[in-house]
Amino acid sequence: MSVIKVLIVDDHFVVREGLKMILETGEQFQVVGEAKDGQEALAMIDKVLPDVILMDLNMPVMSGLETMKVLKREGSAIPVIILTTYNEDELMINGLALGAKGYLLKDTSRENLFRNIESAVRGEALLSADIMEKVMSARERQAQGSPSPEVNLLSDKETYILQCVVKGFRNKEIAHDLGISERTVKSHLTNIYNKLGVDSRSQAVAVAMEQRILNM
């Protein structure tokens, strides 16, 4: 894999420097920019051309969510990984719905940081078990009192594949589990996206949770 250019966006200098130091221990990464808020990040994206953005949620001037909305509106294809803490469950849900490729707790391990960035650049959403537990818990609280959908838009196989996505399975692993080709898995995922009106794995998970299609 060629060198991955990373833009770090966080209002805390210590967090930015910590992530930068960790990333510099890996030859496959290059930190091409640091920003203390979303506005600053948007101003430098065209200059540094990052392959991936590590984005804090709570920042002054322009938050991570506001920045992601601008990127989505502009049609940006740069994958975003949310930097989060233990008390930002609702914000994580919103970030997932906006297409974040993954979430990282700010005290994550070096290996997990590297793995998430590499997965995001490949176009995959890597959602760890602890993060998904938080996301599902928050979604369950939001859905209390809401009626279940009368019709499940997804077939049983599509629902199963989406459950595998939630668990972090890659297309190759899903294909092996179901005894089908990776190409067929991709076809099923395309059908899922079309039915849910989304264009990424993370958005599909968020919408499926919101519509209570996933019961995990």
pLDDT in tens, 109-139: 899 899 889 988 887 766 655 556 666 665 5
Q: What is the pLDDT of residue 88?
A: 67
Cβ(53)–Cβ(27) below 8 Å: no
The answer on pLDDT for 38 being more than 80 is yes
* Choices 3.40.225.10, 2.160.10.10, 3.40.50.2020, 3.40.50.2300: CATH for 4-138: 3.40.50.2300
The answer on pLDDT for 149 being more than 50 is no
Q: What is the pLDDT of residue 141?
A: 58
Q: Which of 12, 84, 78 is nearest to 44 (CA)?
A: 78
Q: What is the pLDDT of residue 144?
A: 58
Q: Which of 142, 51, 50 is nearest to 92 (CA)?
A: 142
Please work out, in degrees rounded to the nearest 5, the angle formed at the alpha carbon of residue 44 by the alpha carbons of 40 and 45.
Answer: 115
CATH T-level fold of 150-210: Arc Repressor Mutant, subunit A (1.10.10)
